[in-house]
Structure formats: C-alpha cells, structure tokens
Amino acid sequence: MTRTGRRVSLLDVGLALIVLLIVWQGASWLLDKPILPPPLDVLRAFVLALPQDLGRHLLVSAWRVVVSILVAVAAAVPAGLALGLSPTADRLASPFIYLLYPIPKIVFLPVVILLLGIGNVSKVFIIALILFFQMLVVVRDEAAGIRPELIASVRSLGAGRRAIFRFVYLPASLPAVLTSLRVSIGTAIAVLFFAESFATTSGLGYYIIVETWGRLAYAQMYAGVLAMSLLGLTLYLVVDGLQRRLCPWLTVGGEQ
C-alpha cells in the first residue's frame, strides 16, 4: 500500500524484486565469500532442499503459526467482545491488561518451554499468547466503539441482546480481527523463529540456525531464510486477501 492507500501494482513489485536481486548479485560478486552466495545458488539450494528436509521444516513451522492464529482468534474474539460489551468486566480486566500488554511476551519463552516442553505446544502457546493480546485490545475497542445510536436503531427493529450480538457485534469484530492479525504476522513469525532456534529439533528456525548455519552450509541457510520469508509473505497476503474479500466496505470510496 502506498501512503494514499492505493494498491501497489504487480508490475512495480516485480521491478523492485528484480532490482533487489541485481543488488544481491552485485554484493555477492563484490564480497566474493561463501557467506554471501549469489541468488542463483540460493535458488538452486532452495529447490533441491524443498522436497527433502527444508520442506518438512517449512510445513512444521507453517503448521505452528496457523494453529497459533486459530487459537488466538478463538480466544480473543469472545474475550474482546465480552470486555467491549460489559463495562464491569472491562473495569476488572483493564488493570491486568495495563500491566501485561506492554511486556514483550517473548521473555516468557524460557518459562513456557520449562512448563510445556520443547515440542509444538510451547511454540503455539507463546505465539498465540502474543497474538491474543494484540487482538483482544482491538476487538474490545471495536465493540466498545459501536455508536449507541446504531444499537438503538437495531433495537427498534425488535432486536434483543442475542440478535444485536449476531447482527452487530460479531460482524463488527471481523475487520478488527483481520487488521490486528495482518499487523501481527511479522511478530508471530519472528517469535516462531526465535522459539525454534533453541531447544527444538524441527522447524525453520532449527533448520536455519542448527542444521545449516551451524554446519556452514550457507546456501542452504539462505534457502531457509528464503523459505521463512515466503512463509511470512504468504500469510500476510492470505490475511490481506481475506480482508479484501470479507470486508469490502473498508476499501470502497465514496462521499461522506
């Protein structure tokens, strides 16, 4: 998106990619060291490794992220709506959110690993925890920000609490969830990478740090980095696409 919100054209993105590749190739020639292989070597390593262990680790990482997202959404939407709708609940929860929200949850990773082990559960838990806090606050604010006149209008149509939930609050929270998700994907991947770089035996973080970097297999390491970048990019585009399809009213222009 440009600053004016216009979609960046595919052509422009393609051109930017080519420029980056040229810069990469140039830097690789200049440096002439194994630690910065040229793009083609990396691409070759990527294609060769994908059907083997790189593909396996990629799937493990992707699985962990997707499950974390689903868990976070399943927890944050009801909780956010509950807080947004009930001033009492909000007043009780606010001090806790005030304390916990600013803490970078990643510092709890050693605790989580100690308590939940080095398998998938601890990874999913920490990522879901981070996403949960992001989404909770946004959903809560969206629900609390719905104008009372809108509620009065829908109530006058005969809607009681259940119908207002079904027809107003639930659909109102969808763009909030998707936006906060889109914004948090980068963080989620970063946390996953960090969580996978120690005390584990699978995942792209493990592949990059232990299996390739640790063995000085630089082209393969770059392939791993490429895979992780593609994972983040794909997730971002999927969420962005979902938002475009499910929330078309956010991107339509019009007079006020």
Partner 1 sequence: MNAPMIEVRSLTFAYPHQPPLFADFSWRVEREQAWAVIGPSGCGKSTLLYLLAGLRKPTGGQVRIGGQPLTRPRPHTGLILQDYGLLPWATVAQNVALGLRVRRFYGPDGRHAPEGERLPEEEIARRVDFWMERLGIAALRDQYPAQISGGQRQRTAIARTLAMNPDLLLMDEPFSSLDALTREDLERLTLELRAETGLTTVVVTHNIEEAVYLGRRILILHHPPHRQPFIVENPEAGDPDYRQRSGFQARCNRVRDLLV
Which residues contribute to the site for partner 1 (CB under 8 A)? 147, 149-150, 152-160, 162-163, 166-168, 171-172, 174-175, 247-249, 252-256
Question: What is the nearest approach in angstroms of partner 1 to the Cβ of residue 82?
Answer: 21
- In 3D space, the residue among 129, 132, 122 whose CA is nearest the CA of residue 64 turns out to be 122
Question: What is the nearest approach in angstroms of partner 1 to the Cβ of residue 36?
Answer: 49
- Complex with partner 1: residue 89 or 174, whichever CB lies closer: 174
- Complex with partner 1: residue 166 or 215, whichever CB lies closer: 166
Question: What is the nearest approach in angstroms of partner 1 to the Cβ of residue 178?
Answer: 12
Residue 214: both structure tokens together: 């640790």
Question: What is the nearest approach in angstroms of partner 1 to the Cβ of residue 79?
Answer: 22
Q: Tell me if 62 sits within 8 A of 231, measured CB to CB.
A: yes
- Complex with partner 1: residue 32 or 255, whichever CB lies closer: 255
Q: Tell me if 133 sits within 8 A of 100, measured CB to CB.
A: yes
- In 3D space, the residue among 8, 45, 43, 47 whose CA is nearest the CA of residue 24 turns out to be 43
Question: What is the nearest approach in angstroms of partner 1 to the Cβ of residue 49?
Answer: 44
- In 3D space, the residue among 178, 177, 208 whose CA is nearest the CA of residue 190 turns out to be 208
The Cα 47–Cα 33 span in angstroms is: 22
- Complex with partner 1: residue 51 or 254, whichever CB lies closer: 254
- Complex with partner 1: residue 154 or 242, whichever CB lies closer: 154
Cα atoms in the 13 Å half-sphere on the side-chain side of 82: 9
